Amino acid sequence: MKQGLLIVVSGPSGTGKGTVCGELLACTPELAYSISATTREPREGEKDGENYYFITREQFEQEIAAGGFLEYANVYGNYYGTPLKKIEERLAAGQDILLEIDTQGALEVMKKCPEGIFIFLLPPSMQELERRIRGRGTESEESLQRRLSAARDEVELGRQYDYAVVNLSVKQAVKRIQGIILAEHSRTGRNEEAFEI
Ligand code: 5GP
C-alpha cells in the first residue's frame, strides 16, 4: 500500500490558512483533515470533534505525557496539538492528510517527518494581514499588535518550507495547493510501480 502524503499548511496568524484549508478540503474529497486538540474555548459556531477537540489543560498535559501528539505548541496562551495515532493509521492506509498548524508546530513536524510536504501561506502584504485580522474582529488591540509583530518574524521561517503560496485570493491559493499535491504524487520516487512495465 502506497503511503499517503502528509501535507502541512502553515503561515502567520491572519494569512487565511483556515479559509484556504476549508475550501481546499471542500473541493478535494480525497484529502482528509487532521482535527487538532486545543485548550482554547470554542468560538461561536465551532463544534467539538469537527473544528477541534476542545479539551482541558489537564487532559492536554496528560496527552503530552503519553506521547499522544505528533507536535504541539502554545499559541497565544493556549495549547494546540496534532493527535499522532490517527495520522499514522491514515497515512499507512494511503490517505493524504492535511495539517493546518502554526509555524512552531510545522518546524517540529519538519524534524520528525522530513518526508512531509511543507507549504507556507503568505499574505500579499503586511498591510493586508493587518486588515484581515482587524476584519475578523476577534482580537483586542493588544492581541492584534502581538500577532502582527509575531507575523513579521514568522515570515522569515517560511524560507525553510518546500513551497510558498501567496494568498491573493482563496480560489487561487487552493488551486496552487492542489497543483502541489498533484505534482508530489507524480514524483518518480513515489511511483516505483509505474516503471514496472
Ligand atoms: P485558532 O485559535 O485561530 O483556531 O488557531 C490559532 C493558531 O493555532 C492558528 O495559527 C492555527 O493554525 C494553529 N493551530 C491549530 N491547530 C494546531 C495544532 O494542532 N498544532 C499547532 N502547532 N498549531 C495549531
In the chain, how many domains are there? 1
Q: Does residue 40 line the site of ligand 1, with CB under 6 A?
A: yes
Residue 193, domain member (yes or no): no
Residue 32, domain member (yes or no): yes
From CA 106, how far away is CA 118, in angstroms rounded? 8
> Which residues partner with 98 through β-bridges?
7, 33
Q: Does residue 34 line the site of ligand 1, with CB under 6 A?
A: no
Which pLDDT value is given to residue 39? 98
Tens of pLDDT along 31-43?
Answer: 999 999 999 999 9
Residue 192, domain member (yes or no): no
Tens of pLDDT along 162-172?
Answer: 999 999 999 99
Residue 101, domain member (yes or no): yes
Residue 146, domain member (yes or no): yes
Residue 75, domain member (yes or no): yes
Gap from CA of 9 to ligand 1 centroid (Å) = 11
Which pLDDT value is given to residue 159? 95
Residue 191, domain member (yes or no): no
List the residue whose alpha carbon is closest to atom 22 of ligand 1. 105
Which pLDDT value is given to residue 98? 98
- β pairing state of 52-54 and 36-38: parallel
Gap from CA of 192 to ligand 1 centroid (Å) = 36
**pTM for the whole thing?**
0.94
> What ligand 1 atom has the least distance to the C-alpha of 78?
2
Q: Does residue 105 line the site of ligand 1, with CB under 6 A?
A: yes
Residue 180, domain member (yes or no): yes
Which domain does 171 fall in, by range?
6-186
Asked if residues 129 and 64 have their Cβ atoms less than 8 Å apart, the reply is: no
Burial group, residue 77, by CB count within 10 angstroms (0-12, 13-18, 19+) = exposed
Gap from CA of 184 to ligand 1 centroid (Å) = 25
Query: Which residues, given as ranges, of the chain have pLDDT below 50?
Result: none
Q: CATH number of the domain that 61 lies in?
A: 3.40.50.300
Q: Does residue 15 line the site of ligand 1, with CB under 6 A?
A: no
Q: Does residue 39 line the site of ligand 1, with CB under 6 A?
A: no
